[in-house]
A and B are shown apart, each in its own frame.
Chain A
Amino acid sequence: MKKIKNWTTIKIIILSSLAGGLLLVALFGKYLAPYDPLEVNYALSLQPPSRAHWFGTDKLGRDILSRILCGARSSFSLTFIMLIIIVFVGVTLGLIAGYKKGMIDHVLMRFADVLLAFPDTIFAIAVAGILGAGLFHTVFALALIWWTKYARLTRTLVSSIMHQDFIIAAKLSGAKPFKIIWAYILPNVFPQILIHATLDIGSMMISLAGLSFLGLASQPPQPEWGYMLFESKQFMQTAPWMMVYPGLVILISVIIFNLLGDSLRDKLDPKQS
């Protein structure tokens, strides 16, 4: 058993450094890019991959590699902003619902039911579509649905520990509700939430990129991976490299975060895997 545990730890270290590497690229991609991602040069239009342009160029002669490196910033920052909003809102409301019970709990959970009873992609497409294309609208649309998942998860986790002795002891000794939640409940529910959040990063990236692939999220000319795929569709016959590389980086990022989530689950919650 010990061997397996060590292997999981090693896996987590490797995968988190890979994930960290991706985040570094997202932060400093601008400086790594060999060309200006926005520079238009019609003489270089639709060049296949070469030594000068490793991933080729698009219709306006912009370097694909540079656009991918700079696009990492918007793809990742959107995903993480959304994740933070969802987890924060969901966990806070879940904690309140699970701790207080009663009316608040009932109203919150019925509201979550309504939202959960609805296909998220469809709702996001509708909201983003109605409010008009834009990064903020897309994040808002997806966040509106996904916080419910964390609210329900947190609530279930909280209810499962509410009757344990240490909580009752804390209540008896006169600790304030905020203190009980912060010091006793949160540390107990946090690992589960971390696992779910890490596992969700991948699907969030795919959903966001999917919406911007439909032309609902990004404002050109700022590069973003999903939108680059959207642009590539009409040049499929003449410039397939335009669609291969942006998709490949999405795939690789999603795989890294999914693997990381899986290993975290193996480590923190062995009975679930």
Chain B
Amino acid sequence: MKSYIIKRLFSLIFVLLGVTFLTFLVTDLAPSDSAEMYYLSRGMTPSSETLETTRKEMGLDKPVIERYVHWLDEAMHGNLGESYHYGNSVIEQMSRKLPNTLKLAFLSLSIVVVISIPLGIFTAIYQNRAIDYFIRFLTFFSISIPNFWLGLLLIYIFSVKLGIFNVISGTDLKGMILPMITLSLPLMGSYIRQIRTAILEELSKDYVVGAVSRGLSQWDIIVKHVLPNAFSSIVTLLGLSIGHLLGGTAIVETIFSYQGIGSMIVEAIRVRDYPIIQGYVVWMAIIYVFVNLIVDLLCFMMNPKMRLSKGERL
């Protein structure tokens, strides 16, 4: 167990280094110049000499590797640089907006879990009956609908036509309802389908047949035997969708003008605020990797068999 955690922490560091370096490299490929953007975002047009000195100050005349090591050193000491656009430090800017996004993502995921686990089990039990077909038909729509379009439709119906919500969402619970629906609905479809498949797979196994022949009630079989066994695939699914959810917030927050890091990054990209983009990437990578570490540990604790089958996972 201990060696497994240590190994995972090592791979985590490796992943973080890889991701940040890759973003650094891409920034280096960018056609626009950081020094120039620094002035332009402040509304100044710099002369070529000022640009030259600023470039030197920012270290832009040095090779990428050297700048990356410097940036890494600063990042280790909790300094992710200063935003060109917002004027304050990246850490400050992030910590102001991140809680809103985490709140939105967490509540959306809770809705998804609360609705799709029962529905997934339900459709598995009533496999190939009318209700199963009906729910699967709905899940099909939910996975095919583009979330940005769904968001626009919801704003049009509930804000413009019915006037129930504001067009610009606040960060209180009422303001979060429409963004939450937009984020969770497309995920629900794929959850219900995958939970259904996982449960069906368990249901076809010998131990279930054994339990049925021993006369256990259907409820007991599902809750006591099938669910614990399907647990790891459900939790793995949760971990994987964190990425989808965090990425989705960028689009959803932009549509609803919700004050989180999702709408912030889109704005930062528009004005080429590189320090913010870098900081955002680092934070997202940390959150994503840690959530998946926790997920793996949970699965690991629930199921000792994982130790053997770790090698060939798709």
Contacts and interface: CB of A to CB of B under 8 A. Distances in A.
Interface of A: 110-111, 113-115, 117-123, 125-132, 152-153, 156, 159, 202, 206, 209-210, 213-216, 226, 229, 232-233, 236-237, 240, 243-244, 247, 250-251, 254-255, 258-259
B152 interface: yes
Contact of A131 (B29, B247, B288, B312): B29
Contacts of B268: 129
Contact of A247 (B149, B155, B243): B149
Contacts of B292: 117
B246 interface: yes
A203 B289 CA distance: 23
For the side of the interface on B, what is the size category?
35 or more
B284 A229 contact: no
Q: Of residues A114, A119, A132, which shows the largest number of chain B Cβ atoms within 10 Å of its Cβ?
A: A119
B281 interface: yes
Given A119-B243, A126-B23, A131-B29, A216 B149 contact: no
Contacts of A210: 146-148, 251
Nearest to B255: A233
Contacts of B288: 117-119
Interface string B20-33: 00110011011110
A229 B11 contact: no
B49 to A, nearest CB: 26
Contacts of A229: 148-149, 152
B15 interface: yes
Interface of B: 11, 14-15, 18-19, 22-23, 26-27, 29-32, 140-141, 143-149, 152-153, 155-156, 160, 242-244, 246-248, 250-251, 254-255, 265-266, 268-270, 272, 274, 277, 280-281, 284-285, 288-289, 292, 312, 314
A126 B247 contact: no
Contacts of B247: 119-122, 125
Contact of B243 (A114, A118, A130, A209): A118
Q: Of residues A110, A111, A131, A214, which shows the largest number of chain B Cβ atoms within 10 Å of its Cβ?
A: A214
A236 B148 CA distance: 14
Given A122-B280, A132-B32, 11 more contacts: A118-B285, A120-B243, A121-B247, A130-B27, A159-B312, A213-B148, A232-B152, A243-B152, A243-B153, A250-B146, A255-B141
Nearest to B148: A213
A52 B152 CA distance: 26
A143 to B, nearest CB: 13
Contacts of B29: 130-131
A255 B140 contact: yes
A249 to B, nearest CB: 10
Contacts of B244: 119, 121
A255 B144 contact: yes
A130 B280 contact: no
A242 B149 CA distance: 12
